[in-house]
Amino acid sequence: MENQPTSGGCGSGCGCHSDPGGQADATRRNLLKAAGVTLGAAAFAKAISPIVNWSRENLSVDEFLQQHYRELDKEQLAAVMKRLEQDAKKNYGADVTISDHRPQKGVKFGYALNLSVCIGCRRCAEACHHENNHDRATNNSYIRVLEMQKGSMDIEHGNAHYDHPVPHPDKFYMPVQCQQCDNPPCVDVCPVEATWKEDDGIVVVDYNWCIGCRYCEAACPYHARRFNWTKPVIPKAEINPKQSYLSNRIRPQGVMEKCTFCLHRTREGKMPACLEACPTGARVFGNLLDPDSEIRKVIDNKRVFVLKEELGTRPSFFYFFDE
Amino acid sequence: MNSTITNAENPHDAKFHATSYLKFLRLAFRLATEGTWTFYVWMFVLSCVFLVGAHAWATQVAQGMIVTAMTDHVSWGLYIANFTFLVGLAAGGVMMVIPAYIYHDNDMHDTVIIGELLAIASIVMCLMFVVADLGRPDRFWHMMPFIGKFNWPISMLTWDVIVLNGYLLLNLHICGYMLYKRFLGETPDRRWYVPFVFLSIAWAISIHTVTAFLYCGLGGRPFWNTALMAPRFLTSAFVAGPAFIIVVLQLIRRMTQMKVGPGSIQTLVAIMRITILIDLLMLGSEVFTALYTGGAHSTAIRYLFFGHGDLNALVPWTWVSLAFMVTAAVLLMRPKVHEHLKVLDVACVLAFVGIWIEKGMGLIIPGFVPSTLHEWVEYIPSAAEWKIMAGIWAAGLIVYTLLLKVAIPVFTGNVSGRRAK
């Protein structure tokens, strides 16, 4: 690259300004360089214009500078939630209320599922879809129901894409959602602490802090996490207006989301939407710390198991069969 | 110009450096922007490819990562594949540093800066691929220590942020210091670079080890959950790095006045001959363990080599990679291959592409296929992903070209502050 024309050039072995008559040449070169740089900069600005337009429409200074959920005091969080309500109005035309539900003292949630009675109707998945304001275009849900081959408990022989009347006589059904692990790999791997385990056992995501690296999605052994590949599409009329900051508010584009055991319901003493939708009563939900709760009765009296126990994730989600 | 610049015996004060360093930067700028027509055409083409990539990335940020072919099942793709490979390329440069500084190989010592500059360009590309993979690059600051929330030490990704940026700074310091001293016409003070060089050797190992730990620490992904991953990463890096540098050294010998002694290429070939065989041995070991045992842990490897029913998107990649690697290994065994440059170059290109597939598509994608719930969803990169990938490679080559363009004349003493008086 150094065997260049000697006119005014440097690097061909000569000193820089030793070339007689190189002065005019150098000026001409500098002009050409300036023109090149200007053209290049203009082309670059044009190339990245979609980002400029996107940030003008979708990114306010307040949102850009917003602190982590756990760093916000009461007023700051109230202001953030107010802004998010306005965003929902602006982007979806819907009047929504966004609240902040905190864990209750003395509560640790657990979930159990009776595989003997689950018929694989997937109404739980559908209820989740509506309750949690999921993207309509992808028909997203936090629950996947696996149709399992009798004679095996191995997920390898499951199929999430069955399409025939249920229950099929040769199969049984195993719904899988976030297991709310006590040793959650997704929380460990997050580089920015955008996801964490709350005192009542629920693993949550601050959708406004997540950077969208999807490391948690790679780490989760249960396929419990979902990414917002684009801005969720939900018709105004179908939006569930009762929302919570850490759960079912409409998620921004480019961030992770996951099942929160419907914390906006369960922290108010209600049952999760998937449980209420279940026609067979296969689902049992409650406070693991309360010895009289139904979930404790299941764990104490049934032979329960957890998924992929060998991984040491310690799920709060249990499966069992009737005797 | 300032006459004190030649007065190397006097210790310099800050004022001296303030003026002479500016002169150094001015010279660097001029060297980086002037060249032959070949240089201008090369830079123009790279800039165009970069702009195409930049536009594709801007569109991805605006419309969302729906423009990629990634899904909730295969949630990492071409970007992380390239990232992983390029961490290796950055670490591979250390195969010049070790012979130069530990074994005092003189030819290598004269050319070691080529490897150090490659590390800089590779890390720049790595960081760009990480940013390209973020759903919310506007929240980049959340990852900065003290300003954002840095989940250190538990998240391996925070370790990667530290080691990659640390490696970048180390190499910037070493190269910058050496070049500035050359520019001043002075002998570099060993105290100001030798400790950093030795630190950078250990650091080079760390960047690829930590990057392997990103994947092999995930218990839910059996394909990745192998203790052999970090050693395999390093070995393949010590194939791909030397392969790239061997070709670059020949180009430099042809196009510049830099003295590239035969010793550098000979040493790099000697390294590659061993590392490529170890790499194949470790691959064989992994494949045997998985296939002979059978069961769920072998599913991904079976998919990688033989497909699953009608699903075989990775099968051609895998066999091409294996064929390239084996061919390269055989070619490298030719006696005195460093004197048969055509054979050597073919071997280097084959090894480089073979590792790129193995450490990219062949490593990242089968981690996700089948998914953790054993669903079978395949992944074939979208046009947007190819464009962004090309753009980042173009940016990396621009950086590398410019760095060489400044470093070579300064290093060969063709230009310096001393001469410019």
Can you give the residue ranges of every domain in chain A? 25-58, 109-320
pLDDT of A28: 87
Beta strands A242-244; A283-287: pairing state: unpaired
How far apart are alpha carbons B245 and B409 in whole angstroms? Answer: 19
Q: What share of chain A is helix, strand, coil (3-state, %, to 5)?
A: 35, 15, 50
Q: What percent of chain B has pLDDT over 70?
A: 96
In chain B, the N- to C-terminal Cα span, in Å, equals 5
pLDDT of A22: 65
User: Is A191–B158 a contact, with Cβ atoms under 8 angstroms apart?
Assistant: yes
pLDDT of A2: 39
B142 neighbourhood in chain A, CB within 8 Å: 68, 192, 194, 209, 211
The 10s digit of each residue's pLDDT in B362-406 is 999 999 999 999 999 999 999 999 999 999 999 999 999 999 999
The 10s digit of each residue's pLDDT in A97-110 is 999 999 999 999 99
User: Is A223–B415 a contact, with Cβ atoms under 8 angstroms apart?
Assistant: no
Which of B218, B397, B405 is the best substitution to test chain A (most A C-beta atoms within 10 A)? B218
**Pair of tokens at residue A113:** 């599922």
Nearest-10 crossing angle of helices B229-255, B341-358: 140
DSSP alpha helices (H): ranges in B14-63? 14-33, 37-63
Judge whether A255 and A192 are in contact, CB under 8 Å. no
User: Is A211–B157 a contact, with Cβ atoms under 8 angstroms apart?
Assistant: no
A53 neighbourhood in chain B, CB within 8 Å: 62
Identify which of B84, B301, B123 has the alpha carbon closest to the alpha carbon of residue B214.
Answer: B84
Distance from CA of B67 to the nearest CA of A (A): 8
Smallest Cβ–Cβ distance between A227 and the set B35, B75, B161 belongs to: B75
Q: Is the ipTM, as predicted for this complex, more than 0.90?
A: yes
Whether pLDDT at B1 is above 90? no
User: Is B220–A311 a contact, with Cβ atoms under 8 angstroms apart?
Assistant: yes
Identify which of A160, A1, A238, A107 has the alpha carbon closest to the alpha carbon of residue B37.
Answer: A1
pLDDT of B297: 81
Q: What percent of chain B has pLDDT over 90?
A: 87
Which of A152, A153, A173, A211 is the best substitution to test chain B (most B C-beta atoms within 10 A)? A211
Helices (H) and strands (E) in chain B, counts: 14, 0
Whether pLDDT at B271 is above 80? yes
pLDDT of B132: 98
Judge whether B124 and B164 are in contact, CB under 8 Å. no
Q: Which of residues 212-251 of A touch B (CB under 8 A)?
A: 212-215, 217-223, 225-231
Indicate the pLDDT class of residue B415, thresholds 50, 70 and 90.
confident
Residues of chain A with pLDDT under 70: 1-22, 323
A5 neighbourhood in chain B, CB within 8 Å: 36
The 10s digit of each residue's pLDDT in B284-340 is 999 999 999 988 789 999 999 999 999 999 999 999 999 999 999 999 999 999 999
Q: Position of tokens 């969080």?
A: A77
Distance from CA of A94 to the nearest CA of B (A): 22
pLDDT of A7: 37
Whether pLDDT at B2 is above 50? no
Judge whether B207 and B122 are in contact, CB under 8 Å. no
CATH topology of domain A109-320: Alpha-Beta Plaits (3.30.70)
Indicate the pLDDT class of residue B15, thresholds 50, 70 and 90.
confident
DSSP labels, B278-342: HHHHHHHHHHHHHHHH-SGGGHHHHHHHH-BTTB-TTHHHHHHHHHHHHHHHHHHTSTTGGG-HH
Mean pLDDT over the full length of chain B: 93
Identify which of B255, B268, B204 has the alpha carbon closest to the alpha carbon of residue B234.
Answer: B204
User: Domains, chain B, ranges and CATH?
Assistant: 23-411 (1.20.1630.10)
Indicate the pLDDT class of residue B412, thresholds 50, 70 and 90.
confident
Which of A25, A156, A205, A229 is the best substitution to test chain B (most B C-beta atoms within 10 A)? A229
Q: Which residue of A has its CA nearest to B136?
A: A211
Which of B139, B255, B368 is the best substitution to test chain A (most A C-beta atoms within 10 A)? B139
Whether pLDDT at B7 is above 80? no
In whole angstroms, what separates CA B363 from the centre of its chain? 17
pLDDT of B3: 42
In chain A, the N- to C-terminal Cα span, in Å, equals 81
Smallest Cβ–Cβ distance between B135 and the set A9, A255, A308 belongs to: A255
Give me the mean pLDDT over the B194-218 stretch: 96
- In three-state secondary structure terms, A110 is strand
Give me the mean pLDDT over the B216-238 stretch: 96
User: Is A229–B66 a contact, with Cβ atoms under 8 angstroms apart?
Assistant: yes
The reply to whether A11 touches chain B by the CB within 8 Å rule is: yes
User: Is A55–B138 a contact, with Cβ atoms under 8 angstroms apart?
Assistant: yes
Q: Which of residues 99-158 of A touch B (CB under 8 A)?
A: 144, 146, 154-158
User: Is B58–A50 a contact, with Cβ atoms under 8 angstroms apart?
Assistant: yes
pLDDT of B414: 78
pLDDT of A23: 77
pLDDT of B17: 87
- In three-state secondary structure terms, A105 is coil
Distance from CA of A63 to the nearest CA of B (A): 10
Distance from CA of B291 to the nearest CA of A (A): 17
How far apart are alpha carbons B114 and B338 in whole angstroms? Answer: 19
How far apart are alpha carbons B190 and A118 in whole angstroms? Answer: 73
